[in-house]
Each structure stands twice: as structure tokens, then as C-alpha cells.
Amino acid sequence: MRRFEGFGPGVREWFLGLEADNSREYFSAHRAFFDESVRGQMTALLAELSDTFGGEVKMFRPNRDIRFSADKSPYKTNTYGLLLGSDAALHGLYASVSADGLVAGSGYHVMARDQLERYRAGVADDRLGPELDRLVAQAEKKGLEIWGESLAAAPRGYAIDHPRIALLRRKTMTLGARRAFGGDGIGRGDGLRFVTRTWRAAAPVTGWLDEHVGATAAHTGR
């Protein structure tokens, strides 16, 4: 297994260059650096952390799907992957690197209708809902941010003055943190510690979701 060595300062410069010139010409000219220092290091980071958290590495392609997008830029401006199959998170443990730094997180990035129904029922429950509220507050105290979309109003069937209306309005529930680049980039130890600490801080919320929401039954025939 390849050893994670960190993301050097050239990684941020590579992404800034891609943001300024998101073209096949730029990407092709700098492909070797991407393969070695960007995608290669992200793959190595996830592979090393799989020894601690379990799961298999899944890396995502750098190409954007532009078939139905007005933005025809061919490349994503971040490089990211998941650890899938870890006991720590049903939907995977996420890490991404871009010009803004290193991001780590977990949660439910998309919830199908049946998942949303179970999620909202759990939030509204007088035992389960306060538990999630407390776990989210604890994660935020540890420096994590709650990401994802929320409804503009209360979901149908729930009062706008519900004590946990902010949680009920959520369409997704993901949480994590960002570590910005320093002058020397993000070193090996810093990168491993940051992602490990973030995933562990998110684990209580993710565990609640896995227990009370779980996978969608859509398209499974059940």
C-alpha cells in the first residue's frame, strides 16, 4: 500500500490553476501532477485510514457530468473519495481536497422519501428527537459544521413552532469540517489526524441516522 505523504503547497496551486483554466488542455498538461500528488495522495490517505475504520476505498472521477448542465466546465474543482463498508458509517466516510483545503465528513447526503419519513418521525419522537438534537450540538461544539439542504418552511404535517423545527426542515444531514492549507500545505500527520478526528466526532450523529433512518427500500422490490 502506498504511504500518504500529505498535500504539498503545489496541490493548492494546481487547483487554483484549474479554477482559472478549467480546460482539457490545462488538465492534460498537468495530469502527471494530479495523478501523483492529488488523486494519488487522496487514495493513499483513505487507504491508510481503512486500517482504522475498515471499508474499501472508492475514488470518484475528476470529470463533471455536463450533459444537463449549463456550466460546461469539464472538470470538478475538488478530488474526493469515500470509505465504503465501514461499520462507522452506512453511507461512507468522505474526504475531499480542493484549493480551499482538506474536508472530511459523513452523514446522509441524499435522503429518499422513505428515509425522510423515518428521519422526520425520529426527530419528532419525544425520546429520539432530543437525543439527535443533543448529538448535533455536541458535534458542533467539537468544531463540526452541519451541511446540506433544508426546506424553507415546515414539512407537511409538522408545526412551524415545533421545538426541533430546524432539524425537521432538513432534507439532508451531513456534517464535517475543513482544514485550510498552510504555507507548507497539509502534512502527513496533520492530514491523518484531522480526518480521523472529524470522522470520530461525526460518528454519534451518523450512528443515530444509521439506526433510525437506515438505507432506502426504494428500487429494492421490498
Vertex 74, ends 71 and 79: CA angle to 5°? Answer: 110
Per the structure block, which three cell numbers stand in for 129? Answer: 428527537
User: What is the pLDDT at residue 217?
Assistant: 87
Q: What is the pLDDT of residue 221?
A: 44
Helix (H) or strand (E) holding 6: strand 6-7
Which pLDDT value is given to residue 220?
Answer: 46
Tens-level pLDDT at each residue, the chain (222 residues) = 579 999 999 999 999 999 999 999 999 999 999 999 999 999 999 999 999 999 999 999 999 888 878 888 999 999 999 999 999 999 999 999 999 999 999 999 999 999 999 999 999 999 999 999 999 999 999 999 999 999 999 999 999 999 999 999 999 999 999 999 999 999 999 999 999 999 999 999 999 999 999 999 875 444
Torsion, CA 65, CA 67, CA 71, CA 73, rounded to 10: 50
User: 3-class SS at 135?
Assistant: helix
Q: What integer pLDDT is reported at residue 1 of this predicted model?
A: 54
Q: State the alpha helices, DSSP H only, in the chain.
A: 9-20, 24-29, 31-33, 40-53, 113-124, 128-141, 165-168, 188-212
Domain map (residue ranges) of the chain: 6-212
Q: Among residues 58, 35, 47, 34, which one has the least CA distance to residue 4?
A: 47
pLDDT the model gives residue 65: 85
**CATH classification number, 6-212, choose in 3.30.1460.10, 1.10.287.1770, 3.40.50.620, 3.10.450.350:** 3.30.1460.10
The residue behind cell 456534517 is: 175
Which of 21, 195, 20 minimizes the C-alpha distance to 105? 195
pTM: 0.93
